Structure 1
Amino acid sequence: MKETPAMEWIVRASAAHPEVRFAEGEILIREGEATPSLHVLLDGTVSIYRGAVRVNRTSVPGALFGEMSSLLSIPSSASVVAEGPVRALRIVDGGAFLASDPEIALHAARLLAQRLYDATTYLADLKVQFQDEASHLGMVDRILGSLLNQQVEGAAAPDETRHDPRL
């Protein structure tokens, strides 16, 4: 993910939130833990892990972490670990922050859309690689096909119990 004016903007938009610092090896977000907070990277490099597998690495100011669990009210799906000194802004109520301004929501949506595009491109490539495989690897094609077409009931339904301050 390269730095864009939108990334600089999200840093400015979240500047009122407290700055936190992490040393090399410290965990910003731990996979499986339920937390409503999210982080906005100011500087440093972080790696994102699912289990023991590193799935991403970034040093782009304005990168968001914790937005998926904030939006879906689920435990964190990955761990975010500092690769060296890291400064970030911690937003305690990530869901409220993301809902507070249409531009903030659009920024998060663009980041998530890019991640989804990257993931589905990779999955589609894997699907093609294993589609004709006669061994147990042939199941990769069917599993990935199922994942690429999976829809979660009610995922886009608004939370009608929360008041929208913009109305």
Structure 2
Amino acid sequence: MDNLLEVCTDFPEMTLRPGECLLEEGGKSGLLFVLIEGEFEVVKDGFQINKVSEPGSIFGEISVLLDIPHLASVMALSVSRLHVIDNPKGFIRSNIDIPILLSSVLAQRLNGVTSYLFELKNQLGDDFDQLVIVDQVLETLVD
């Protein structure tokens, strides 16, 4: 299994139009969403931090896994279809491949953040001391 879409075919679908909100920063839906088609932007504190259009992409997993409010808002940029998973923990437990796929998604994101922070540290050189928080985050990520 290469993609979460392969295990979501029996789940209901929903469609969003451009500008509609899938997840609201600070809210807690208790749902997972798997992208079938379309494009979304991820917005944190009013700033776009990512665009997502890859089929099989997942939304809401951090909130579900950590039992915390959504860290960012997710807004449709185009007409988009998603599978809706209303029992996410049951879904994750239902097939041994699902935790592996989910772990891979989270590891890719962590790798991207870590690489970005190391690149930032290298670019800033001596000025890096002004961003002590980045160094602290890097220490946490690589421990």
TM-score normalised to structure 1 length: 0.78
Paired position in structure 1 for 2:139? 149
CA distance in 2, matches of 1:36, 1:87: 19
Q: CA deviation at 1:84?
A: 1.0
1:139 equivalent in alignment to 2:130: yes
Aligned to 2:106, which of 84, 109, 112? Answer: 112
Aligned to 2:2, which of 3, 6, 31? Answer: 6
CA distance in 1, matches of 2:134, 2:124: 10
Unpaired runs of at least 5, structure 2: none
Higher-RCO chain (CA-CA 8 Å, sequence separation at least 6): 2
Equivalent residue of 1:81, what SS? strand
Paired position in structure 1 for 2:54? 60
Q: Deviations over 1:20-59 (max 9, x none)?
A: 1100000111111122111000001111111222111121
Q: Deviations over 1:112-162 (max 9, x none)?
A: 1111111110011112223411xxx6321x2111112227xxxxxxxxxxx
CA distance in 2, matches of 1:149, 1:111: 22
CA distance in 1, matches of 2:112, 2:8: 26
Unpaired runs of at least 5, structure 1: 152-167
Q: CA deviation at 1:13?
A: 0.5
Which stretches of structure 1, 4 residues or longer, exceed 2 Å deviation after superposition?
A: 128-131
Q: Is the 8 A contact 1:36 1:95 kept in 2?
A: no
CA distance in 2, matches of 1:87, 1:131: 44
CA distance in 2, matches of 1:129, 1:6: 36
Whichever structure has more helix as a proportion of its residues is 2
CA distance in 2, matches of 1:88, 1:109: 20
Sequence identity percentage = 33
Q: What is the aligned residue count? A: 141
CA distance in 2, matches of 1:59, 1:16: 21
Structure with max Cα Rg: 1
